[in-house]
Structure 1
Amino acid sequence: MLENGYIVWEGASLLDNSPIFLVLTGFVFPTSNRRTGRQIQSWILQQDFTPTKAAKEGLDQGVCGNCSLRMSQTGACYVSLLPVNNVYHKYTRRAYPKFGANEMAMLKHYRYPIRIGSYGDPTAVPFEVWEPIISASKRWTGFTHQWSHCDSRWKKYLMASVHSSSEARVAQNQGWRTFRIIAPNAPLSENEILCRHTEDDRVQCDSCGLCNGASSKPNIADPVHGLNWKVSNFMKYLNQQ
């Protein structure tokens, strides 16, 4: 019987060698996230700490790397961690079956679109773990804050997450397409377009697919969104740059 979630991999983070794991969910019950639509969600989490504890105490470097939006840094990360805790607790109960050949075949057959890194930076997990899953899916979106030093093969699949025009230029010069979070009503750079969901909230990531790595497609900008206090923290961070 098809399960909603599967454990894909457990091992040492490529970011700091701490024990982490990768879970895929959404095979039966789609995410309630209106922005992403029906994408398979992927969760990269620390093995030893709940996501809320890891984020609050700065123990999340193994899954978040050097992201400046971490809760222990600027407190501007838009992800709500309470639902992510549920994934962690189910993992600790060993309630997720192993993702195997049958599930991979199902992914190839139905071509489920996948969100690479619903929480956690994809580059914390070996590229060789991800690529068969991405190839089976055929449609994906994904981002990394580790673009300056991660495996260059990720350029094919991920956008570089950046927070300024100057940072975007550096990443683009290194061969990345960029996804830039901007202040509300901030101007776009000449080589950027606005996130299509922001322009029309009927457009979802599963059908849009623009944020899928290096290509001739334009770079993307998106006004900061989320809880008011997180938006406020992001604006403080921008003003300090």
Structure 2
Amino acid sequence: MLIATGLEDGGSNSKTGSMCQLYILRQDMNPLKASQIGADKAICGSCVHMGKVVTDEKTGLRKNVGRSCYVMLWRGPHVVFDAYQRGVYPEVTLAKARKLLAGKRVRAGAYGDPGAIPMAVWETILAKVHDVTGFTHMWRDKPELAAFCMASCDTEIGRVLAKALGFRTYRVRPEGAPKLAGEGHCPASKEMGKATQCAQCLLCGGHKSNAKADITIQVHGPGRNNFQPVLEAA
């Protein structure tokens, strides 16, 4: 399911600033549980940051280890899912969603991968937005997302492959690793002193932003020490 928050005030995300946040969640399961048992694959695809699900030898229960995703599930995703279960969010048609998002700055995928939502839905609801940012690890199978998403890449080779499919890229690199030719540092990142917010920058909107440079950011978030770049197959 797709849930929009911050329609009235743009939310309170300190990195993005005032942007409507679109959450992509499983409708049948709390995101914390989904991550614990690997069911988050339905909305995150093959993202390397999901972690690995193993069985605890003592309890026999499944658990997630090695998660490096910057999203703190117990905050935004859990809170949004809990509000959904309490009936806080009214269900609307695509036409109504387009009207509600019209003229707004939108973050497509505050959690979850935009590739989990049909492109036809995005084309409808984003038709009249002011600006949009988006990131996808599903760039290999969903090249059409290049229209408004950056290809999330975790290796230099991954960046080359994504660019060959027509994407601008957003590469997460290990701590201390340099940027590559054609890349610019994320100006909203800690390493750049949080010089601005996404709502003012808006470089990460795929080709919709009309920017040419790719973007890179140093691995960050509570799981940054678990980051293990995986070599993408050609």
Write out per-residue CA displacement over residues 1-26 of structure 1, whole angstroms, 9 at most, x where no aligned residue.
Answer: xxxxxxxxxxxxxxxxxxxx110000
**Residue from 122, 128, 149 that aligns with 1:158:** 149
Give the RMSD, CA atoms, in angstroms: 1.8
Q: SS at 2:49's partner residue? A: coil
Mapping for residues 30-109 of structure 1, pairs under 5 Å? 30-72=10-52, 74-83=66-75, 84-100=77-93, 101=95, 104-108=98-102
Shift of 1:95: 2.2
Write out per-residue CA displacement over residues 67-97 of structure 1, whole angstroms, 9 at most, x where no aligned residue.
Answer: 1110336410110011211211222233211
Aligned twin of 2:57? none
Shift of 1:103: 5.4
TM-score of the superposed pair, with normalisation by structure 1: 0.82
In structure 2, relative to structure 1, the CA distance for the partners of 1:233 and 1:27 (3 Å cut) is same
Write out per-residue CA displacement over residues 17-46 of structure 1, whole angstroms, 9 at most, x where no aligned residue.
Answer: xxxx11000012433221100110011111
**Residue from 209, 215, 221 that aligns with 1:226:** 221
TM-score of the superposed pair, with normalisation by structure 2: 0.85
| Whole-angstrom CA distance in 2 between matches of 1:121 and 1:53 | 18
**Residue from 168, 188, 202 that aligns with 1:209:** 202
Q: Give structure 1 stretches of 5+ with no counterpart.
A: 1-20
AA of the residue aligned to 1:75: R
Structure 1 vs Structure 2: percent identity of aligned residues?
A: 35
Q: SS at 1:37's partner residue? A: coil
| Contact residue 19 and residue 106 of structure 2 kept, 8 A | yes
Q: SS at 2:135's partner residue? A: strand
| Contact residue 155 and residue 213 of structure 1 kept, 8 A | yes
